[in-house]
Amino acid sequence: MQTVVLAAGEGTRMRPLTAAQPKPMLPVAGKPLLEHTLDRAVEAGANRLIVVVGYESDRVRDHFGSQHGGVDLEYAVQEQQRGTADAVNAAAELLTNDPFVVLNGDALYDQASLNTLYSNGPAVGSYRVDNPSAYGVLQLAEGDDSRVTGVVEKPANPESNLINTGAYVFPADAEELLSVETSERGELELTDVLEAVCNRESVTAVPFDRWLDVGRPWELLAANEWLLESLSTRLDGEIHENADLNGPVVVEEGATIRSGVSIDGPVYVDSGATVGPNAYIRGSTYLAPDSKVGHSVEVKNSILMAGATVGHLSYVGDSVLGQRVNFGAGTKVANLRHDGQPVKLTVKGDRVSTGRRKLGVIVGDDAKTGINTSLNAGVVLGAGMTTEPGEVLDRDRWEDFKS
């Protein structure tokens, strides 16, 4: 089935990690988020892929080219990010007169449920959450909890906790319904198209066993944790005989594990990455290409993006380090509040709870710390930011923060 995958947005809630790359291209478990979504779409039955691009679109095109998983891949451009209906409308001229699937390129869907979605239609993916007011809540037909009659966006008093996952199967003529009016949020919403389809035919609610909307930095860690659960050991790189590897660990060809290194999986070490000597890596960690973990460094449950370096005698826990970040020797990251409350993080100017008891720091591309820097839990360093030697930082530092 032809499939439209939305990947045009910058992802402002993911700043500063999206300062130079679109959110769907942020890496987890060895691949960009978008690639994991495309993989699952192909597995579910996509026979044609249309990716809607916009912000930093060349990064998407250069990475994927014109095919993925043996399936032809085309691109549609959303010139201005005016909403999800506008994004699908950008792809309308590429659609054939057949039913089509729409997926979000920055969301994760469990494979079995996605397979079920592809075999139904019209349909929308559904999922039960603890905080439905933050999502679009699906309305169901009375006496039939499998038929959707509408959706209410972010209701103050939701009727249920069943929400829209942003995964749809639309009928062939749904593209005629894409010219919707601007919503109260100032966007052209795909949920209005869903409403129009619901008004004229039966739409199935397909329950997802597992789903994750990756919209904020700590959800990148959650995505990495999920995807590394199924990791199988593969050791193709150079591994010193005195290294100790336990649990599921991938060491790609071109990666180097030096003497005295201890790794407790699930851990993914990508090509060109180096670890050690005498370093300790544990807990759902991804080391991207050309990243470096130095002498006597411990990294726990973190993502180090391409070219990121953590100097010797440092600790990094539950953190995301952007491209080419450089932590000076002795940099320490705190990842736990002493009062036991969830760590808070700044998102679009507001300090919000992450719901995570343990969370370290979020660091934008090219940021650097001086030696013996201490970073408190929930600190955000903007792209290109620096710290002084010995500095203790418990507040965010942005170059040019805009909400």
Nearest-5° angle of CA 285, CA 290, CA 294?
A: 65
Residue 126 lies in a domain: yes
Nearest-5° angle of CA 237, CA 217, CA 387?
A: 85
Whether 71 and 206 map to the same domain: the answer is yes
pLDDT, average across residues 348-356: 90
The better pLDDT of the pair 99, 176 is held by 99
Global pTM value: 0.92
CB 191 within 8 A of CB 125: no
Whether 271 and 131 map to the same domain: the answer is no
**What is the structure's pLDDT at 211?**
95
pLDDT, average across residues 92-107: 92
**What is the structure's pLDDT at 180?**
58
Whether 173 and 259 map to the same domain: the answer is no
Whether 355 and 271 map to the same domain: the answer is yes
Whether 310 and 167 map to the same domain: the answer is no
pLDDT in tens, 228-240: 999 999 999 999 9
Whether 385 and 300 map to the same domain: the answer is yes
CATH of the domain at 67: 3.90.550.10
Tokens encoding 106: 């920055």
Q: Model confidence at 257, in pLDDT bands (50, 70, 90)? A: very high
Whether 258 and 211 map to the same domain: the answer is no
CB 307 within 8 A of CB 290: yes
pLDDT in tens, 307-323: 999 989 999 999 999 99
The dihedral region occupied by 333, where left means phi > 0, alpha psi between -120 and 50, and beta the remainder, is beta
**What is the structure's pLDDT at 183?**
58
Residue 86 lies in a domain: yes
Which residues are annotated as catalytic? 312
pLDDT in tens, 119-159: 987 999 999 998 888 888 888 877 677 888 888 888 888 88
**What is the structure's pLDDT at 402?**
38
What single string gives the DSSP state of each residue in 202-256? -EEEEE-S-EEE--SHHHHHHHHHHHHTT---EE-SEE-TT-EEESSEEE-TT-E
Whether 205 and 119 map to the same domain: the answer is yes
CB 369 within 8 A of CB 351: no
**What is the structure's pLDDT at 12?**
87
Whether 243 and 378 map to the same domain: the answer is yes
Residue 222 lies in a domain: no
What distances in angstroms separate CA 9 from CA 24, 52, 227, one per listed residue? 8, 9, 23
Which residues fall within 8 angstroms of residue 200, CB to CB, at 6 or more apart? Answer: none
Q: How many domains does the chain have?
A: 2
Find the range with the poorest average confidence among 5-19, 173-187, 190-204, 286-300. Answer: 173-187
Whether 35 and 181 map to the same domain: the answer is yes
Whether 140 and 273 map to the same domain: the answer is no
Q: Residue 359: how many CA atoms within 13 Å on its side-chain side?
A: 25
CATH of the domain at 276: 2.160.10.10
